[in-house]
Amino acid sequence: IIGTLKRELIEVKEIQEFQNLKSKYLGKKGLIKSLMNNLKDIDDVALKKQYGKTVNELKEELETIFDKKLNELKEKEREEKEKKNWVDITIPGARRKIGKENLITKTRKEIEEIFIGMGFSIAEGPEIENSWYNFDALNTPEWHPAREMQDTFYLSLDKEKLLRTHTSPVQVRTMLKSKPPLAIISPGRVYRKDELDATHSPVFHQVEGLYVDKNVSVSHLKMYLEVFAQKFFGNKVSVLLRPSYFPFTEPSFEVDISCIFCGGKGCSVCKNTGWIEILGAGLVHPNVFQSVNYDPKVWQGFAFGMGIERVAMLKYNIPDIREFYKNDIRFIETL
């Protein structure tokens, strides 16, 4: 029996075949079972005992052989699985393309971080504005010639609804909502009927700044802008205030930084002046304080508004504002 089994087992390659063979020998209707069934036909007690013992020994021996074969089959199966799942770790991996932060977002975050570091918080306002917030409350009523300074996309015939032309309406919204003193910046998208060219886009981004407290003067404005400029563009940068005009500030300034390309000596970027304009600013006009019920005799403040694309163009040396909106992956990847 054992010899036959061993021969049969050599042929067995799979677990299922093994199970079939095992039940043929050891199963309920198997060989051992039928040998055991013969016991009842043996009358001689000693012979019966001997027979039983022999069959049991045979059973044990068969079980050992089957166990051994099962282990072999399992080991073979494990080896095959391992072979199938083998990974060549020396093959170079496929580089996965990952996204990059948009440069406008990156620049906005850089500006935000600098001002947050100086105690400012972030305020937001809607892109669809009422004319009152965008103009009237900012000392620019309907008849004011300064309305022409920013050509507006109106959303209604009565010119009540418009796409905000600057982030300055957030000043008004913030002051109406909170009591002074306060220090906020407000980044966001703005719209103007400007022709698209290398430095102008009809949709662009600004960051507004507003600081209100007692005894605020132009020197505070200059100090904050100087710290900003040095942190953003580099330690050596200095700031120049040139008199200018905005209806919502008095006095008003265009703010320049010393040219970061030639160190202020004069080059083509700064048109040999040594200075580059980065933003508009000034001390909050008393009429603006009046529109939001702040007493201008008690409170003073400074405000500024800078173009995010413009400062990003300077910092990252981008010659044309249109690069920001083309979605050319090569542009994004070089940054």
Residue closer to ligand FA5 (CB basis): 9 or 312: 312
Q: Decide: is 309 part of the binding site for ligand FA5 (CB under 6 A).
A: yes
Q: Please list, residue by residue across 23-60, b when 16 or more beta carbons sit within 10 angstroms of its beta carbon and e when fewer do.
A: eebeeeebbbeebeeeeeeeeeeeeeeebeeebeebbe
Tokens of 144: 């004011």
Burial zone of 305 (CB within 10 Å; 0-12 exposed, 13-18 middle, 19+ buried): buried
Q: Decide: is 279 part of the binding site for ligand FA5 (CB under 6 A).
A: yes
Tokens of 188: 């966001």
Q: Decide: is 140 part of the binding site for ligand FA5 (CB under 6 A).
A: no
Site string (189-218) toward ligand FA5, x via CB under 6 A: ---x-x-----xx--x-x-x----------
Q: Are 245 and 144 in contact (CB under 8 A)?
A: no
Q: Are 260 and 157 in contact (CB under 8 A)?
A: no
Q: Which of 304, 312, 323, 324 binds ligand FA5 (CB under 6 A)?
A: 304
Site string (149-188) toward ligand FA5, x via CB under 6 A: -x---------------x-x--------------------
Count helices and strands in the chain by DSSP H and E runs: 11, 9
Q: Which of 22, 175, 307, 312 binds ligand FA5 (CB under 6 A)?
A: 307
Amino acid of residue 87: V
Beta bridge partners, 178, equal none
63 is in an annotated binding site: no
Q: Reduce the DSSP state of residue 328 to 3 states and report it.
A: coil
Q: Decide: is 249 part of the binding site for ligand FA5 (CB under 6 A).
A: yes
**Which window, 28-36, 215-223, 230-238, 301-309, contacts ligand FA5 (CB under 6 A)?**
301-309
Amino acid of residue 4: T
Annotated binding site for Mg(2+): 250
For ligand FA5, the binding residues (CB under 6 A) are 150, 166, 168, 192, 194, 200-201, 204, 206, 208, 246, 249, 279-282, 303-307, 309-310, 321
